[in-house]
Structure 1
Amino acid sequence: MATLLETCRIAPPPAGDAADQLIVPLTYLDMRWIHFIPIHCLLFYEYPCSKVYFTETLLPKLKQSLSVTLKHYLPLAGNLVYPLNTDEKPVFRYVPGDSVSLTIAESSNDFDEHVGNHARDADQFYDFVPELPPVKLDESNYQTIPVIALRVTLFPNLGICVGYSYHHSIGDWSSIVGFIRAWASVNKFGGDDEFLTKQAESSRPIFDRSVINDPIGIDSIYWKVIREIPLKLSSFPLPTNRVRATFILHRADIKNLKDLVLDKKPDLVQVSSFVVTVSYVWTCFVKSGEELVDDDVLELFIFSVDVRARIDPPVPANYFGNCLGYGVGKIEHKRLVGDEGFVIAAEDIALDIKNRANNKDQVLKGVENWMSVDTKKSIGIRALGVSGSPKFDLASADFGWGKAKKLEILSIDGENYSMSLCKSTDSDGGLEVGLSLPRERMEAFAAIFAHGLKY
């Protein structure tokens, strides 16, 4: 149970030479996420401190450091401005006085329960997630939509949870992880000097949308589709009727999985830790289902691809926004659940990465049509997605309390099944997989997952 202690707004520090407002257009890579559900994440830190120390020492620092960090991330303090009944396109807009919602709470829950790996009731985690403030309709017939909200929860003498919710259109995982890590750095070092050093120059966010090449006006093509869909933000998916559990693939497990694939497919390239991990989880997930499925039904695995370095011209690594393509594995059910299912999955995903993700001529091929695909074709599709990425290590964000004990991505509680993926906080070189499933299916998955690792 969480008790609300304070709700406040944190604004960037005033700047005398600041412009009246900052307008950041949406590229087509941002627009495609406008109707997507908000992303909810939690970072749990094992940091025993009293309530008095938290409120009198830690909390003022967190507020101050957040304000300083927002100076470098002004669009996060602003809103998505969504026009109604007009041909104008949406923009992100910051005006002086805009701010971010920060909620402070205290919890009497069992901290160890939340940072465990075993199956736990998924609903209980929503005590620590901030809700995005409501959409507002202004006098000019525009909707203004806050893009991020934050919540910090104290477990007295045990730890701290930092939770955040954000609108996917403002940025991808790389962008938001960069913001959280910047806030942590400013808080730890008492200012932004470390963040602004030459060594950290590549981490300073770039909001210049001109780096996204759009010669044929894909943003206009997307907007014609998007504007016909009523804008409404989803609430928490409660009750979820699910449990959450974490599964760790240690360095040795990953090596064994790679060896297994390469023994069967010695000429296969792109047999990465990502490939073998998601392939193994995908096959275990499909096998854990109890429903009857026709042999020839396609099973899909869908994953995002950061295309910053994969397109021509390349986009700077510190570009803040969405810069995502996608990859997909497609395999008939009977092949995926068969004895060679894991190797077949790894080969399929590895080839898709080679031929699509790592091919600058293919990675965004047909992107102008992505928003116009007949949505009826997606009804009934059997798919598993993935959220997060071990490439961008969010759990290493250190507010001065050390690395996070646990990262939970709550967005995988949504209607469609998805897994979370990050570096393991407990196993050097390992990867951590999070799943949210009905309890019986979770038990079946856990048994299949453990059995398959007994080489």
Structure 2
Amino acid sequence: MAENPPAAGVLERCDIRPSANTASELTLSLLHFDITWLYFHPVQRLLFFDFPCSKAEFLETVVPKLKESLHQTLNHFLPLAGNIIHPLNSGRPFSRFEEGDSVTLTIAESDKDFDYLTGNHPRVADEFYACVPQLPPAKHTPDVVILPVLALQITLFPDRGVCLGITNHHAIGDASSIVRFIKAWASVNRSSGDSKLIDDKLLPFYERTSVEDPEGLDSIYWNLIKQSRAVESPPISFPLNKIRGTFILTKDDVQKLKHFVLERRPEMHITAFTVTCALVWVCLVKVDGAAETLADDEPEYFCFAADCRGRLTPPLPAAYFGNCLAFVKAESTHGLLKGNDGFLFAAQSVGEAIHKTVNNEKGILDGAENWPRQFGKLIGKRLFGVAGSPRFDLYDVDYGWGRPIKFESASIDADTSMSLCKSRDFEGGLEIGLSRPKEILDAFAAIFTEALGNL
């Protein structure tokens, strides 16, 4: 199998640096929140915009403006222009920006079918990688490995639209941090390069000493993580043999799901997130892999991350830059989830997992010293998860080309997660993205539709 993704026609590849009059160096410790993601696969997001323009207009107007706005925005997001420094012999990894560091921006052109890529129907996963930027290769020295943390690509579909691709190393920041950067860049581009107009709420907060570490988690996590000796995540091999599909829950669908649960379990605290995850989980359990041959007592897991910023003592600002996530694990059995009441059991499991971790009276970090080992034990198990959150609305991003017509989380191809975001077209609705082999996605679509129809 090929190790390189399908390529677009590269028109230019350039390095964009912050202004010379910004700080010449910024070093940030990687805390336990960050170290968790050190060997995780890159996070890849794609934003498609319905923006018909010619190649000449694209190169003469759109690209120069995008470069300048990126240059201005990076002045406020220096870690994204820097690198993660991974010592091989002693010391913990850290983030460092030095004068001269930059972000790689690829300018590309594609002849692929824009309408095909931006639909909700099943689409071949490989087709999207012409728009996905690749992180530059790591640099190796005898003592350290230097890991780039951000790559960007803008791809023109002549006279039809553009796609903005963002790939980041997860250890540099979670969705909250990266989405703030995307929105700040959009704001500057829309306002013709004036970074003074960035909403103060989007500007990052870098202070690391504000983060509590009650149990010495930084050292505990690093001592566990470094034992794997992995430094770079393995490349994706093509063809992926997966199909991407998008599934929509309207506000009415969500309300029906919540009502269905509360009618039968009135004591449960139910949210849109809970019922959405429960529905997808139980549908996947019934169709994914060797579902028909599994024993009833086979464990099933559903995992996701919860933002800790406002739940620490003292709480961190919403603009804290980096990772600040707690792991949440819901657990049930195959027999319970595949049965007639599977959705109820799934909703109960997800709800209880949230209550146990997020609403823990001892604090959200209670038991965090055991999280790496707990989740290490799930490798090879029946595990599903969530990438993204409805809290981060990428459909309101506007670079001056109007709102995106489609968001795709390309990185869900690398694991068994679903993507989740606000619906673009349905107020109060949710958009679910899945990447699975064709027969599994087709079966999921059928059972998902049937489940909604039976409400």
TM-score (norm 1): 0.95
4+ residue segments displaced more than 4 Å: none
The residue number in structure 2 matching 1:227 is 226
Q: Retained in 2: the 8 A contact 1:310–1:360?
A: no
Q: What are the Cα deviations for residues 13-38 of structure 1, in whole angstroms up to 9, with x where unaligned? A: 110xx444111111111011101111
**How far 1:339 sits from its partner (Å)?**
1.0
**How far 1:286 sits from its partner (Å)?**
0.9
Matched residues in 2 for 1:30 and 1:98: separation?
21
Q: Does 1:368 align with 2:374?
A: no
The residue number in structure 1 matching 2:191 is 189
Matched residues in 2 for 1:69 and 1:129: separation?
21
The residue number in structure 2 matching 1:422 is 421
The residue number in structure 1 matching 2:66 is 62
Q: Retained in 2: the 8 A contact 1:38–1:234?
A: no
The residue number in structure 1 matching 2:279 is 280
Matched residues in 1 for 2:404 and 2:11: separation?
23
Gaps of 5+ in 1: none
Query: Aligned runs of 1:313-324 on 2, under 5 Å?
Result: 313-324=314-325
Q: Partner letter of residue 343 of structure 2?
A: F
Query: Aligned runs of 1:273-422 on 2, under 5 Å?
Result: 273-289=272-288, 291=290, 292-359=293-360, 361-373=362-374, 375=376, 377-414=377-414, 416-422=415-421
The residue number in structure 2 matching 1:170 is 172
The residue number in structure 1 matching 2:157 is 155
**How far 1:374 sits from its partner (Å)?**
8.4
Aligned-pair identity (%): 47
Between the two proteins, the alignment pairs up a number of residues equal to 444
Q: Retained in 1: the 8 A contact 2:183–2:202?
A: no
**How far 1:290 sits from its partner (Å)?**
5.5
Q: Partner letter of residue 385 of structure 1?
A: G
Matched residues in 2 for 1:360 and 1:176: separation?
30
The residue number in structure 2 matching 1:94 is 97
Q: Partner letter of residue 153 of structure 1?
A: T
Q: Partner letter of residue 357 of structure 1?
A: V
The residue number in structure 2 matching 1:252 is 252
The residue number in structure 1 matching 2:442 is 443
Matched residues in 2 for 1:106 and 1:310: separation?
44
The residue number in structure 1 matching 2:4 is none
Shift in CA distance, 134/255, structure 1 to aligned 2, threshold 3 Å: same
In terms of mean alpha carbon deviation, does 281-290 or 244-253 score higher? Answer: 281-290
**How far 1:372 sits from its partner (Å)?**
4.2
Q: Pick from 88, 107, 124 the counterpart of residue 110 of structure 2.
A: 107
Q: What are the Cα deviations for residues 378-402 of structure 1, in whole angstroms up to 9, with x where unaligned? A: 2431011110111011222110111
Name the Cα RMSD after superposition. Answer: 1.5
**How far 1:287 sits from its partner (Å)?**
1.2
Q: Partner letter of residue 48 of structure 1?
A: P
Matched residues in 1 for 2:238 and 2:347: separation?
34
Q: Retained in 1: the 8 A contact 2:73–2:195?
A: yes
The residue number in structure 2 matching 1:236 is 236
Shift in CA distance, 19/174, structure 1 to aligned 2, threshold 3 Å: closer
Q: What are the Cα deviations for residues 47-81 of structure 1, in whole angstroms up to 9, with x where unaligned? A: 11111111100100000000100000001000001
SS at match of 1:8: strand
Matched residues in 2 for 1:128 and 1:38: separation?
15
**How far 1:371 sits from its partner (Å)?**
3.0
Q: Partner letter of residue 12 of structure 1?
A: P
SS at match of 1:294: coil
Q: What are the Cα deviations for residues 206-256 of structure 1, in whole angstroms up to 9, with x where unaligned? A: 111112111443212222223331312322342211100000001111111
SS at match of 2:384: strand
Q: Retained in 2: the 8 A contact 1:311–1:360?
A: no
TM-score (norm 2): 0.95
